Chain A
């Protein structure tokens, strides 16, 4: 086999890594390179150094160490039976790439994952070696996200957390049945077991640092996971339920949803029709409702239709409000914060501003208008000093009033 150049291998291994949605570089400890011999800093807020035309941010150098893989997961472009070009980097090559990108301010750090070669533990060792060289030999203080391999030796997984800011294990599919069918080499109990031990390690390390200032940090940016949406029969209600269990059980920082999208050389077992990208967006919105708006999982599920799917034409918060109109209108001058957070069109910031402003004086509709993007959306659901919606929440056609008639949908090119 002729040797591929670094450029060719970068092309293959970045291409193979793009189906991981996560690119976050936020939420870790604050560090800088003062007094060190290397470079790098993290200041809490992540930075997106570029955006690709798919709308996704590019914050980290996201690559695989190799896309050779002994697993045969049907949704994956790197599965054993796929006819894709294969390549591998040595740990040192990844380190060099990371540093030369970082010095030019292209990236916040590295997100490293890998196909499984030889064995899970061997692969994990290689991943850790990259992080070790970066941290120990180059005193790199930027962000590192390591994908952890659930089948690997727990000892190795624990080591990964000492170098990485974030660790992640993908649950891949929202249902166990989907996982058995589409990822026959993976096992749900094993994935959850590994997530459970990561959680314990993270909690333990946090606890130790409370008592000993110099206790080692373990994955200070926590753990995250990813679910593929639309490759199996799981409904939005299933996915929301699964996500909330994951948040509870493993204290995840984030659950990423990745709408299954066509891949080169797809397996014949996969569904033909890809889910609309809007479905992914609605799932993220429902995720937000649970994390920042005080919605319980069953309440988000109530926003879904009888088929368990969230409506695509309205956001889940509006869908919920339309279903539970009895809870509205809400008086912006009196209602508790939790009630205001339920008003469609009012974000967390707007609610905070309203709560602060109403201590000063009684708020009028125009005041609310200054704090929101669209007063027309909010109006039917609120009462202000000079405004009370009359019968509006009882109107059958409320949804059509709020949601502009859908633009004539473009025919699907590949329908």
Chain B
């Protein structure tokens, strides 16, 4: 044992590794030192990237030869696995940390399981940072295409934080096997020609191409997939810290996207704003309120809103599309030609005005001026949906047993979806307040038809009304 004691007194050993990620070199040296019983504080580790400043280390000193009968060091598989990641870290203390843990493992073989131990924690921390760097390199490398001796080559410039370039090469080879590519970094370069991988000296940003036409598309995609209504800058920064931004073509857009987000959201909210506040609590109040409603373009066209009409507890509610020219002038529903046709059919079917509340899906008159005439225009689905708020209010107040929708617009207003009137007519549907919905054509449709067609449709219309009358009698009888 005498020679070892001498060595301990005579100072530290310096071990130079061939490369900063030279795991094999570290393992061979460490194994030898453990077998020669050299404690951790007697060794200084160096690599081309980690120049130690230990002036007292013996540079040229030969490493001790372990005695032939010294046992092989004991290591656990956990340690080896973790060590291969740790060695890629840029912290120059990693070699001595690893050696210290290896040293302690000799007397405490299950040390690696003690996750609360300070050295084990340090190893886990370094390994985690390395794994993250490896992962971020796989994520954030951006290739740019360039012409290279008539072939297309994809070249990327990346600045890893740790010594991960070599360890990460396999991933890019497996993924881009059939491409020719190069990854340039300040720590070294990789070149793949489709069959073999070559390593090269460190490069600078200027060695990589400065742009790629496809980046225009990529930036557009990045800007479009972003949802300005859910800005979460913190969550982005956590996963994509600023240090990576300079080599990512899309990152230049971030400040502008963030700055514009609030305005874009405000615009969307405003455009979709239909906050009517609390609903008026009487039919009279609704009648007042619709006069001032400017929630859609029809409401803003300067016409007078037309409120529904009839007994406030009528068992039947008839819903038309919207007021027409005469209705708007008189301020009452169903007083024009279509209204007259409706009333004559109602009378024929035996449905009296005293039991009927008539109203419209849309409260204002939508038209285009043609000379002196105002030509009716269909309301859009959106306009119907907006105006539904008022019709719902009337339904809450009147509580009809049966609702008769005339035409597709009225049906949409009650069902929330567009249906084909010809398919659903004659069959009642249940509405969510328990009332029954019947759908038929709008009388103005009958007015537009000629001759035979009109006669046919009018028969169908009359039939529908008769069914409604019968059903209404049934429902009222049940009360």
- The yes or no answer to A360 lying at the interface (CB within 8 A) is yes
> Which of B88-96, B224-232, B363-371, B466-474 is the interface stretch?
B224-232
Determine if B175 and A33 form an interchain contact, defined as CB atoms under 8 angstroms apart.
yes
Residue of B nearest to A349 (CB): B115
Determine if B221 and A10 form an interchain contact, defined as CB atoms under 8 angstroms apart.
yes
- The yes or no answer to B338 lying at the interface (CB within 8 A) is no
What separation, in Å, do the CA atoms of A24 and B142 have in the docked complex?
A: 20
Chain A interface main SS type? loop
Residues of A within 8 A of B177 (CB): 32-36, 39
Known A11-B224, A266-B271, A371-B115; contact A277-B230, beta-carbon cutoff 8 A:
yes
Determine if A39 and B178 form an interchain contact, defined as CB atoms under 8 angstroms apart.
yes
Determine if B140 and A262 form an interchain contact, defined as CB atoms under 8 angstroms apart.
no
Contact of A277 among B154, B173, B232 (CB under 8 A): B232
Determine if B268 and A266 form an interchain contact, defined as CB atoms under 8 angstroms apart.
yes
Residues of B within 8 A of A265 (CB): 271-272, 382
- The yes or no answer to A103 lying at the interface (CB within 8 A) is yes
**Segment 207-225 of B: residues with Cβ below 8 Å from A:** 212, 214, 216-218, 220-225
Q: How many residues of B contact A (CB 8 A)?
A: 77
> Which of A14-22, A145-153, A206-214, A229-237 is the interface stretch?
A14-22
Interface centre among A32, A51, A181, A274 (most CB of B within 10 A): A51
Q: In angstroms, how far is the closest chain A Cβ from the Cβ of B142?
A: 6
Residues of B within 8 A of A263 (CB): 229, 268, 272
Residue of A nearest to B253 (CB): A53
Residue of A nearest to B270 (CB): A414
Known A47-B135, A51-B236, A277-B232; contact A101-B269, beta-carbon cutoff 8 A:
no
Residue of B nearest to A35 (CB): B177
Residue of A nearest to B255 (CB): A53
Q: In angstroms, how far is the closest chain B Cβ from the Cβ of A145?
A: 14
- The yes or no answer to B303 lying at the interface (CB within 8 A) is no
- The yes or no answer to B198 lying at the interface (CB within 8 A) is no
Determine if B176 and A33 form an interchain contact, defined as CB atoms under 8 angstroms apart.
yes
Interface centre among B175, B231, B235 (most CB of A within 10 A): B175
Q: In angstroms, how far is the closest chain B Cβ from the Cβ of A269?
A: 6
Q: In angstroms, how far is the closest chain A Cβ from the Cβ of B122?
A: 11
Contact of B224 among A10, A19, A80, A261 (CB under 8 A): A10
- The yes or no answer to A38 lying at the interface (CB within 8 A) is yes
Contact of B217 among A7, A54, A267, A277 (CB under 8 A): A7
Residues of A within 8 A of B179 (CB): 39, 103
Determine if A359 and B272 form an interchain contact, defined as CB atoms under 8 angstroms apart.
no
Residue of A nearest to B266 (CB): A414
Q: In angstroms, how far is the closest chain A Cβ from the Cβ of B473?
A: 30
Determine if B388 and A268 form an interchain contact, defined as CB atoms under 8 angstroms apart.
yes
- The yes or no answer to B265 lying at the interface (CB within 8 A) is yes
- The yes or no answer to B353 lying at the interface (CB within 8 A) is no
Determine if B269 and A268 form an interchain contact, defined as CB atoms under 8 angstroms apart.
no
Determine if B221 and A54 form an interchain contact, defined as CB atoms under 8 angstroms apart.
no
Determine if B389 and A15 form an interchain contact, defined as CB atoms under 8 angstroms apart.
no
- The yes or no answer to B381 lying at the interface (CB within 8 A) is yes
Report the contact-size class of chain A (Cβ under 8 Å from the partner): 35 or more
- The yes or no answer to B240 lying at the interface (CB within 8 A) is yes
Determine if A105 and B225 form an interchain contact, defined as CB atoms under 8 angstroms apart.
no
- The yes or no answer to B141 lying at the interface (CB within 8 A) is yes
- The yes or no answer to A270 lying at the interface (CB within 8 A) is yes
Known A104-B145, A265-B272, A414-B269; contact A11-B218, beta-carbon cutoff 8 A:
no
Residue of B nearest to A100 (CB): B214
- The yes or no answer to B156 lying at the interface (CB within 8 A) is yes
Q: In angstroms, how far is the closest chain B Cβ from the Cβ of A86?
A: 15
Residues of B within 8 A of A26 (CB): none
Q: In angstroms, how far is the closest chain A Cβ from the Cβ of B257?
A: 5
- The yes or no answer to B113 lying at the interface (CB within 8 A) is yes
Q: In angstroms, how far is the closest chain A Cβ from the Cβ of B430?
A: 11
> Which of A57-65, A119-127, A283-291, A397-405 is the interface stretch?
A57-65
What separation, in Å, do the CA atoms of A265 and B381 have in the docked complex?
A: 12
**Segment 262-321 of A: residues with Cβ below 8 Å from B:** 262-270, 272, 274, 277
Known A10-B221, A357-B115; contact A54-B175, beta-carbon cutoff 8 A:
no
Q: In angstroms, how far is the closest chain B Cβ from the Cβ of A40?
A: 7
Determine if B261 and A53 form an interchain contact, defined as CB atoms under 8 angstroms apart.
yes
- The yes or no answer to B9 lying at the interface (CB within 8 A) is no
**Segment 182-240 of A: residues with Cβ below 8 Å from B:** 184-185
**Segment 150-167 of B: residues with Cβ below 8 Å from A:** 154, 156
What separation, in Å, do the CA atoms of A262 and B316 have in the docked complex?
A: 37
Determine if B220 and A184 form an interchain contact, defined as CB atoms under 8 angstroms apart.
no
Contact of B174 among A34, A62, A106 (CB under 8 A): A34
Chain B window 111-123, contacts with chain A (Cβ cutoff 8 Å), 1 for yes, 0 for no:
0011110100100
What separation, in Å, do the CA atoms of A356 and B273 have in the docked complex?
A: 56
Interface centre among A6, A18, A72, A268 (most CB of B within 10 A): A268
- The yes or no answer to A395 lying at the interface (CB within 8 A) is no
Determine if B232 and A103 form an interchain contact, defined as CB atoms under 8 angstroms apart.
no
What separation, in Å, do the CA atoms of A72 and B411 have in the docked complex?
A: 15
Known A103-B154, A268-B382; contact A38-B232, beta-carbon cutoff 8 A:
no
Residues of B within 8 A of A69 (CB): none
Residues of B within 8 A of A373 (CB): none
**Segment 49-85 of A: residues with Cβ below 8 Å from B:** 49-58, 61-63, 72, 74, 80-81, 83
- The yes or no answer to A370 lying at the interface (CB within 8 A) is yes
Residues of B within 8 A of A80 (CB): 381, 418
Residue of B nearest to A359 (CB): B113
Determine if A33 and B174 form an interchain contact, defined as CB atoms under 8 angstroms apart.
yes
What separation, in Å, do the CA atoms of A413 and B380 have in the docked complex?
A: 30
Determine if B234 and A55 form an interchain contact, defined as CB atoms under 8 angstroms apart.
yes
**Segment 169-184 of A: residues with Cβ below 8 Å from B:** 181, 184
Determine if A353 and B214 form an interchain contact, defined as CB atoms under 8 angstroms apart.
no
Known A49-B139, A58-B222, A265-B272; contact A37-B266, beta-carbon cutoff 8 A:
no
Residues of A within 8 A of B135 (CB): 45, 47
Interface centre among B141, B235, B248 (most CB of A within 10 A): B235
What separation, in Å, do the CA atoms of A184 and B411 have in the docked complex?
A: 13
What separation, in Å, do the CA atoms of A270 and B389 have in the docked complex?
A: 12
Determine if B154 and A259 form an interchain contact, defined as CB atoms under 8 angstroms apart.
no
Known A83-B382, A262-B229; contact A38-B178, beta-carbon cutoff 8 A:
yes
Contact of A104 among B154, B216, B271 (CB under 8 A): B154
Residues of B within 8 A of A268 (CB): 274, 382, 385-386, 388-389
Interface centre among B143, B154, B417 (most CB of A within 10 A): B417
Determine if A413 and B115 form an interchain contact, defined as CB atoms under 8 angstroms apart.
no
What separation, in Å, do the CA atoms of A56 and B151 have in the docked complex?
A: 36
Determine if A14 and B113 form an interchain contact, defined as CB atoms under 8 angstroms apart.
no
Residues of B within 8 A of A413 (CB): 262, 266
- The yes or no answer to B144 lying at the interface (CB within 8 A) is yes
Known A18-B226, A62-B225, A353-B116; contact A6-B217, beta-carbon cutoff 8 A:
yes
Determine if A51 and B235 form an interchain contact, defined as CB atoms under 8 angstroms apart.
yes
Residues of A within 8 A of B273 (CB): 272
Interface centre among A38, A40, A49, A181 (most CB of B within 10 A): A49
Determine if A36 and B217 form an interchain contact, defined as CB atoms under 8 angstroms apart.
no
14 sampled A-B residue pairs with Cβ under 8 A: A7-B216, A10-B217, A18-B224, A36-B178, A50-B139, A51-B236, A53-B232, A54-B231, A81-B381, A83-B382, A104-B214, A360-B110, A367-B116, A370-B116
What 8 pairs across the A-B complex have the smallest Cβ distances? A55-B235, A55-B232, A184-B417, A266-B272, A81-B381, A32-B174, A367-B116, A353-B115
Known A-B contacts: A50-B222, A272-B274. Give 5 more (CB < 8 A): A11-B224, A36-B178, A72-B417, A184-B415, A268-B382
